[in-house]
Structure 1
């Protein structure tokens, strides 16, 4: 009986080891492909929110890292991509995080021109409830288009909230937490840009993002 238990335990241990090795090998061989797909999706998103006609540089190649937990929602550096025309900065796309989504963090990217006007916003990753909070995805709803051409100033600061809180942005039926968190994140990103525009737009590229 004792030998049988030891034998079975050894077989289970060997099986677990083989499974772990197999998973590690799959991850190793697919990591590059996954990274390439992520970079392609990022490129598509950048071209959606920063019109090609306003810049002549490769957006993904002029990437800078920004670290401001209060503004960007996480205590780690996040990338931003500077668009320029003949060497002159014209816009920036900043990755940011809404830490207070209904089901955790919402990662998004906000494109802003040099006048402080929002060119476009897209959701990069989230865990919000399907059928409710997932309307922050463009493929589910055009809700994110509300931010296009919007600006933040002292005069309209209070309007940067969902309508339930006295602002100008629609909330979702049966789901207010997600859009409230999202609007708050875009607002903080705009505040950060407005306060640091010159320093941000004149920084040299300092992060590596591959694209093939």
Structure 2
């Protein structure tokens, strides 16, 4: 077999073929894994809803809606025997130390926080990443954002910030307050 001459057109053809094969492999991989990743994300949302609202017997992820106040925020109604027991709200803050923080916050019918689950963050391990610890998340339980805005003590609120991670703590408080405002604003 004759060796391919190293000319500009030949190099272009070889590089184009490599790019086509690589792009095709990526497309096939994406096509095969997209449904799996979607299902994992759905299961993660169901698990987060179950962590933050009282016991329910409906499937909140099938009845969810987006907030009229902020269409980025998804609201999951939780009911038991047809009666509302609360809502889980998937909220976020882009004012974190290292990117954004996405969380699920639960509210009962009276508007009190029932639970908090951090879904995604990029905070510094050992500092801002401590927002995922139960000891910090439990500081929000029982707060009523309608009566007093959720904020850290440094901002006039009642939530003690994590030492050396005030920005991360502030971002979580902001996301909880944003979730409440979205819930108050209703459906889109």
SS at match of 2:124: coil
2:99 paired with 1:109: no
Deviation at 1:130, TM superposition (A): 2.5
SS in 2 for 1:119: strand
Q: Give the drift of 1:3.
A: 5.1
Question: Number of aligned pairs?
Answer: 184
Query: Which segments of 5 or more consecutive residues in structure 1 lack a partner in the other structure?
Result: 70-75, 207-212
Is the 8 Å Cα contact of residues 98 and 107 (structure 1) preserved in structure 2? yes
1:30-49 correspondence runs (5 A): 30-49=33-52
**Which structure 2 residues correspond to residues 57-72 of structure 1 after superposition, within 5 A?**
57-69=58-70
Contact 2:86 2:107 in 1 (8 A): yes
Distance 1:8 1:188 in 2: 55
Q: Match of 1:82, SS?
A: strand
RMSD (CA atoms):
2.2
What does residue range 1-212 of structure 1 map to in structure 2 within 5 Å? 4-52=7-55, 55-69=56-70, 76-138=71-133, 142-154=135-147, 156-157=148-149, 160-193=150-183, 195-196=184-185, 200=186
* 1:98-130 Cα distance to aligned partner (Å, 9 max, x none): 121122221111110111111111112222223
8 A contact 1:67–1:77 mirrored in 2: no
Moved over 6 A (4+): none
Native 8 Å contact 2:67 2:182 kept in 1:
no
- Per the TM alignment, residue 94 of structure 1 is displaced from its structure 2 partner at its CA by 1.1
SS in 2 for 1:142: helix
TM-score (ref. length: structure 2)? 0.85
What's the TM-score, normalizing by structure 1? Answer: 0.77
Preserved contact between residue 73 and residue 182 of structure 2 (Cα < 8 Å) = no
5+ residue gaps, structure 2, are: none
Q: Give the distance between the partners of 1:144 and 1:95, measured in 2 at CA.
A: 15
Larger Rg: 2
